[in-house]
Amino acid sequence: MTTRRPDIVLLVLDTQRADRLSYNGYARETSPYIDRLAADSTIFRYAFSTAQWTIPSHASMFTGLYPSIHTTNQSRSVLPGNLPTLAERLRGSGYFTTAFCNNPLVGVVNNGLRRGFLSFLNYSGLLTSHPNQASVGAGWIDRYRQLFKRIVANLLNRIQDSFARSELMLAFSFTPFMVPLWQTALSFKGNTARSLNDAARMLTERQGVGRDQPIFAFINLMGTHAPYRPPHRFIERFAPHILRDKSARRYLNRFNSDIYGWLAPLSGPINSEHKQTLDTIYDAEVAHQDERVGAFLDALRHSGRLDRTMIITCADHGDHLGEKQLIGHSFAAYNEVVHVPLLIHDPSGDLPRGGVVDRFVSTRRIFNTVLTTAGVADDAERAYTLAQSESADPDGGTVFAEADPPQNVVNMMLRRQPELVRDYGYDQTRRAVLSGAHKLIQTGDADVELYDIREDPREMLNLRDILPERVEDLQEQLQNFVSHNGSLAASASEREREDDPQVRRRLHDLGYLE
């Protein structure tokens, strides 16, 4: 008799900083429900996203590749058709693949990230009422209704997709006239409660799912993404000064209404009052989302499904809240944006409950971990599962991050603040390599920073001139990484139509393809 494969949930807490969760040592109790899950999971203390923003980081989790290989790193990018996605692989092996997505960059923009999902529920954009729900097991009336919805959804998605790809339309969407539409009618942050409730119902009631068929559920939540408007009771707990201080409320209202302000760096250091406002309101959003996640986990727990479900909880990236004169997550490779939470609840025991992993790991290996758990991975892919011991880790504790700035944001900055772009190199790609205790960040071809992130996680002391030999060593590793990945990406791009076996063999040998 074969063992039933487990359900697998990939829960992405979009824009969630690792250092703002209490299980990670944050002084404020922002995440009691996730803390409870963490106590029953393996915690990865030093997990790093492959990129600093949504599209490339999700593409890495869905393909197991770094951005310089999958090349899906701009709003206009489309995931190459010859790269099988996680959902495609799982669907092909018999999983019911379903998504509950609140991020329009994944659920609305036509970039290939929805490939492989039998059911993809989108909670942001112009049409949020289950437009992409697969009509599995439905009657003919329901099927025609779903067909009509899909036709309307495709039309609206084309309109919305054009905003992400057109500089003129994107600039128009950032005008004061359009901002209220972004935040209300377009449901920019989606609906956390509804999406989690729908996901819980799918996992517990299993409507339309075959008998003994396992489920893969991808969930993306936008609770901690700007704009910040948590319920009053969370503001009372975490940001009470905003209720008393008119100037703090004015600043927050101005911040929330200026989409450009979520994206662009500051021209000078943030003042302490504004920093306090952003810090505390962000904490309030973290706690509000945590409560919603807790209700989702309780639904699985009470149904008995929790102990039969692998739950991977992570973030696609973090966010700057004024540190280093930065707001948002468009440009940097500092820990605020690339150091992310990662914990895995694994009923099989391959990843032990209560375990803690202190070596550096990359979120791209979520791909390998899920395939291994599902029994789909080949030998090369199994080597990269996060369940590997430290001695068998093929990465050897060395990981990379690639912060390629969104070109549409750079173009807006060049129109508004060209000196800021030029002086700080915000139009340059920033790459980081992490190995041992150190992290090297290189901007473009010249500017280099070196930090001991175990002793200095906020990256305040640049060791570049103190440890020149370490800089040289890490620069060599980074250059080899860039050259190797660039060669693979160029070969794959040139021969994609022929589906060149040599390229596929090289990617296979690296554990990137089956």
CATH number at residue 115: 3.40.720.10
DSSP secondary structure letter of residue 512:
S
Q: Which of 9-13, 124-128, 293-297, 491-495 has the lowest mean pLDDT?
A: 491-495
Task: Tell me the pLDDT band of 129, cut-offs 50, 70 and 90.
Answer: very low
Instruction: Check pLDDT > 50 for residue 408.
Output: yes
Give the pLDDT score at 112. 95
Q: Which of 37-46, 102-111, 321-330, 356-365 has the lowest mean pLDDT?
A: 102-111
Q: Which residue has the higher pLDDT, 498 or 200?
A: 200
Task: Tell me the pLDDT band of 55, cut-offs 50, 70 and 90.
Answer: very high
Q: Which residue has the higher pLDDT, 164 or 267?
A: 267
Give the pLDDT score at 263. 85
Instruction: Check pLDDT > 80 for residue 494.
Output: no
Distance CA 365, CA 73 (A): 18
> Do the domain assignments include residue 514?
no
Angle at 208 between CA 202 and CA 213, to 5 degrees: 80
What phi, psi does 207 have (nearest 5°)? -65, 125
Q: What is the pLDDT of residues 428-472, one digit of tens each?
A: 999 999 999 999 999 987 799 999 999 999 999 999 999 999 999
Interval 10-30 mean pLDDT: 97
Interval 189-213 mean pLDDT: 95
Per-position DSSP letters for 428-476, written without gaps between them:
S-EEEEEETTEEEEEETTTEEEEEETTT-TT--S--TTT-HHHHHHHHH
Instruction: Check pLDDT > 50 for residue 395.
Output: yes
Helix (H) or strand (E) holding 356: strand 356-362
> Do the domain assignments include residue 71?
yes
Give the pLDDT score at 502. 47
Q: What is the pTM of this model?
A: 0.89
* Residue 267: count of CB within 10 angstroms of its CB: 10
Beta-carbon contacts of 203 under 8 Å, excluding residues fewer than 6 positions away, are 7, 9, 215, 217, 300, 303, 305, 309
Give the pLDDT score at 452. 98
Q: What is the pLDDT of residues 24-52, one digit of tens each?
A: 999 999 999 999 999 999 999 999 999 99
Give the pLDDT score at 259. 81
Give the pLDDT score at 108. 84
Instruction: Check pLDDT > 60 for residue 161.
Output: no
Residue 73 burial by Cβ neighbours in a 10 Å radius (0-12, 13-18, 19+): buried
Per-position DSSP letters for 370-423, written without gaps between them:
HHHHTT---HHHHTT-TTS-GGG-TTTT-EEEEE---HHHHHHHHHH-HHHHHH
Percent of residues, the chain, with pLDDT higher than 70: 82
* Residue 8: count of CB within 10 angstroms of its CB: 24
Distance CA 248, CA 276 (A): 9
> Do the domain assignments include residue 141?
yes
Instruction: Check pLDDT > 90 for residue 284.
Output: yes
Query: Which residues are paired to 36 by β-bridges?
Result: none
Task: Tell me the pLDDT band of 283, cut-offs 50, 70 and 90.
Answer: very high
Helix (H) or strand (E) holding 119: strand 119-122
Instruction: Check pLDDT > 70 for residue 66.
Output: yes
Number of folded domains in the chain? 1
Give the pLDDT score at 160. 56
Beta-carbon contacts of 375 under 8 Å, excluding residues fewer than 6 positions away, are 5, 93
Task: Tell me the pLDDT band of 415, cut-offs 50, 70 and 90.
Answer: confident
Q: Which of 154-158, 205-209, 420-424 has the lowest mean pLDDT?
A: 154-158
Domain that holds residue 108: 7-509
Give the pLDDT score at 134. 41
Give the pLDDT score at 390. 87
Whole-angstrom CA distances from 446 to 324, 404, 442 are: 19, 16, 7
Which tokens in the block code for residue 451?
């930090």
Whole-angstrom CA distances from 492 to 61, 82, 183, 489 are: 19, 9, 39, 5
Q: Which residue has the higher pLDDT, 133 or 120?
A: 120
Question: Over the chain, what is the mean pLDDT?
Answer: 88
Give SS3 for 139.
Answer: coil
